[in-house]
């Protein structure tokens, strides 16, 4: 139980919520559990998050945003666009594998939460495709890539690599051949982007 003198911030509630979800699972975790773990009343939690659904969606967004933030540095980097694209795809795959393999229960929990939070997931995918669009547009500007419509091309790159980031493929990420498959798909995709 945390000292009650510490200010109750939204971030502290979200941290506690993740811990409660990890411990009880998405079906059983309640707002009362979250309040208890913080040593506050459930009313105090509701002052930050109006309903249980709002709290669950916020913790899902926080989880998804961690990935987006980690990749933003690659987008903003000053390497050539092809290198940034390869680094971005590799970093996304690595982050997903780490989440799935490092803490399978929490990953399963977040898959349930993501199923409830369709809008948050849609926005997350939109942000990731937006990051790819920046890299592809940069490649078109330097003459490295060809694309009549970088946003559509970015979506195609994202979907062509679904196998390496969509959680529905998580079981396949443990196969010994997965790294070779990833490299072969990236090779094909990068060739497809290169200026003729």
Q: What track of x and - describes contact with a copy of itself for positions 46 through 85 (by CB under 8 A)? A: ----------------------------------------
Is 184 a binding residue for a copy of itself by CB under 8 A? The answer is: yes
Q: Which of 110, 153, 165, 173 touches a copy of itself (CB under 8 A)?
A: 153
Question: Is the CB of residue 48 less than 8 Å from the CB of residue 10?
Answer: yes
Question: Is the CB of residue 135 less than 8 Å from the CB of residue 85?
Answer: yes
Which lies closer to a copy of itself via its Cβ, residue 60 or residue 161? Answer: 161
Kindly report each contact of residues 65-72 with a partner whose C-beta sits within 8 Å and lies 24 or more positions away, as own/partner.
Answer: 65/124, 67/92, 67/95, 67/96, 67/124, 67/128, 68/124, 68/127, 68/128, 68/131, 70/95, 71/95, 71/128, 71/131, 72/131
Show contacts with a copy of itself in window 104-123 (CB under 8 A). Answer: none
Which lies closer to a copy of itself via its Cβ, residue 72 or residue 125? Answer: 125
Burial of 148 (0-12, 13-18, 19+ CB in 10 A): exposed
Is 10 a binding residue for a copy of itself by CB under 8 A? The answer is: no
Q: Which of 116, 141, 166, 174 touches a copy of itself (CB under 8 A)?
A: 166
Binding residues for a copy of itself, rule: CB under 8 A, are: 152-153, 155-157, 159-163, 166, 168-169, 181, 184-185, 187-193
């Amino acid at each position: 139980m945390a000292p009650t003198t510490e200010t109750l911030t939204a971030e502290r509630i979200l941290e506690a919520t993740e811990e409660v979800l990890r411990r009880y699972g998405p079906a059983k975790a309640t707002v009362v559990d979250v309040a208890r773990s913080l040593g506050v009343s459930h009313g105090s939690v509701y002052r930050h998050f109006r309903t249980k659904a709002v709290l669950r969606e916020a913790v899902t967004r926080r989880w998804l945003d961690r990935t987006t933030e980690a990749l933003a540095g690659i987008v903003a980097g000053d390497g050539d666009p092809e290198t940034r694209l390869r680094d971005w795809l590799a970093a996304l795959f690595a982050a997903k594998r780490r989440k799935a393999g490092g803490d399978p229960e929490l990953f399963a929990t977040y898959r349930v939460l993501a199923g409830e939070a369709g809008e948050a997931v849609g926005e997350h995918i939109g942000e990731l495709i937006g990051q790819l669009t920046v890299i592809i547009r940069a490649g078109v500007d330097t003459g490295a890539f060809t694309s009549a419509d970088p946003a559509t091309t970015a979506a195609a790159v994202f979907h062509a690599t679904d196998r390496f980031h969509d959680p529905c493929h998580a079981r396949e990420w443990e196969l010994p051949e997965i790294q070779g498959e990833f490299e072969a798909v990236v090779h094909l995709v990068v060739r497809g982007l290169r200026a003729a």
